[in-house]
Amino acid sequence: MSLKKPGYRSRLIDEKIARYLNIFGAVSIEGPKWCGKTWTSLAQANSVSYLTDRSQRDLAMVDPKYIFTHLSPQLIDEWQIVPEIWDAVRHECDTDREKGKFILTGSTALKVNEGTHKVFHSGVGRIVTLRMHPMSLYESGDSTGEVSLSGLLEGTVETGYVGKVELEKLARLIIRGGWPENIYTAEEDCGVIPESYIDSLVTKDMHEGAVKKRNPHKMRMLLRSLSRNESTLVGNKTLVKDIEEYENQDEIIESRATIADYLGVLDSLYLTANQEAFSLNYRSSARIGKAAKRHLVDPSLCCASLGLNVEKLLHDHETFGLLFEALVERDLRIFADYHGGHLFHFRDNASGDEVDAILEFKNGDYAAFEIKLSDGSIDDAITSLTRFYQYAKKKPKVMGIIVGHLQAVMQDKETGIYMIPATSLKP
């Protein structure tokens, strides 16, 4: 008796949820609001309780067991509204050891044993937690899927024409983002949902559970700074400086003291997806940069924060390039999760050598990718990847350049490096 909604578009995480429901008593799905957690969970659930419904919430506050349906899997949507549900679910899973009893969804992270949140048990062994992201281009139907990450690793990808994609189309995909509700929205209205997301954050979400009052204007300035520095290694000092430009001197000390809190809010709402540094031995480990590359969870939020539209992106090649990189790295993160791997970046502080994206897998294999908006930068990307290959102690399984404005899959005969249109990728 699936509760799958008509028109549901399959997600890559579907397989993992189904698998883990056969292993654990409960599966918890975390991720930003509007990324599709509820519909994805309904596709696998046989009953549902919405904690946003007052009657359900009131019952759960009296005793969480009152909302248990005993029709498994039961979806409990936005469980964090009544944090005691976590322990109740864990206890229920302990009692009868049944697999796949619950699916929990949450758009706010709670820290165990902190503040007033009454969550006392981690749930290890009973509840497994999965991270969900906005849609990749493959999930939204904007990638042909002719080039698979698996195929690249196995050396089975064939070169050839895959179709032309105009820069204007790429700009629209960045503005629209990976929000399921936006997939069928008219192109001229695609910016409304990300803008509404920002408004909801600063007027409501950032204040929930706050011990002290937070400044909506300061949060907007932080988001603007993060967006302006998207896909870079910008440090907190730069973020603080950006905010201080809009403040008087009396507020500067406060901004320095609270920047961590504001960044923590974004983390707790799953609105950041920073890319950690790759640590594989490369020359001397002491020279390897450790800073994470900063990302908002979807580049559309950057556009909303900066007031960007298609025309502005097309006339600002540098910003367009950084946001295109963010778009591709969003998708690579989703693909890495699908394969049980992780997404990193690489930088050698001494030489300045960089690689935009490193995907490392459980077996130790990894792939190295440069990301370029147009084919005019391919030669530079080949040089960067070649230098990385030369000095890397353990060699990558495959190297590639993911390009926005490219019509065909190609392979450099000398280096073996693939050139791949971004709109042809799948996991």
Q: Does residue 255 register a pLDDT over 70? A: no
366 strand-pairing partners: 360
How many C-beta atoms surround the C-beta of residue 88 within 10 A?
20
Who wins on pLDDT, 393 or 339?
Answer: 339
**How far apart (Å, rounded) are the C-alpha atoms in residues 268 and 265?**
5
401 strand-pairing partners: 370, 419
pLDDT (mean) for 17-32: 97
Most confident of 104-118, 183-197, 319-333: 319-333
Burial 260-282 (b: 16+ CB within 10 A, else e): eebbebbebbbbbbebebbebeb
Hey, what are 8's tokens? 């549901």
Q: Could you tell me how many residues make up the chain?
A: 427
Q: Hey, what amino acid is at 81?
A: I
Q: What is the pLDDT of residue 197?
A: 95
Q: What is the pLDDT of residue 15?
A: 97
Q: Residue holding tokens 């937070």?
A: 214
Q: Does residue 373 register a pLDDT over 70? A: yes
Q: What is the average pLDDT score of the chain?
A: 91
Q: Does residue 406 register a pLDDT over 80? A: yes
Q: What is the pLDDT of residue 253?
A: 45
Q: Where are the domains of the chain?
A: 13-131, 137-426
pLDDT (mean) for 234-243: 80
**How far apart (Å, rounded) are the C-alpha atoms in residues 222 and 236?**
10
pLDDT (mean) for 395-407: 97
Q: What is the pLDDT of residue 113?
A: 41
pLDDT (mean) for 347-358: 90
Q: How does pLDDT run across 64-98, given as a tens digit for each residue? A: 999 999 899 999 999 999 999 999 999 999 988 89
Q: What is the pLDDT of residue 109?
A: 80
Q: What is the pLDDT of residue 81?
A: 94
Closest CA to 254 of 246, 244, 264: 244
Q: What is the pLDDT of residue 272?
A: 96
**How far apart (Å, rounded) are the C-alpha atoms in residues 123 and 126?**
5
Q: Does residue 390 register a pLDDT over 90? A: yes
Q: What is the pLDDT of residue 142?
A: 97
Q: DSSP 3-state assignment of 107?
A: coil
Hey, what are 204's tokens? 């409501």
Instruction: Please state the φ and ψ torsions of residue 128, each to the nearest 5 degrees.
Output: -105, 140
Q: What is the pLDDT of residue 211?
A: 77
Q: Does residue 414 register a pLDDT over 90? A: yes
Q: Hey, what amino acid is at 425?
A: L
Out of 190-194, 240-244, 348-352, pick the least confident.
240-244
Give the CA angle between residues 148, 179, 43 to the nearest 5°. 75
Q: Does residue 111 register a pLDDT over 60? A: no
- Residue 215 C-alpha from the chain's centroid: 26
Q: What is the pLDDT of residue 103?
A: 98
Q: Residue holding tokens 């005969």?
A: 413
- Residue 378 C-alpha from the chain's centroid: 26
Q: In the chain, what percentage of residues exceed pLDDT 70?
A: 91
Secondary structure element (H or E) that encloses residue 23, with its range:
none
| Class of 13-131 in CATH | alpha beta
- Residue 55 C-alpha from the chain's centroid: 33
pTM: 0.93
Q: Does residue 250 register a pLDDT over 70? A: no
Confidence of residue 123 (pLDDT cuts 50, 70, 90): low
Q: How does pLDDT run across 276-317, given as a tens digit for each residue? A: 999 876 565 655 668 899 999 999 999 999 999 999 999 999
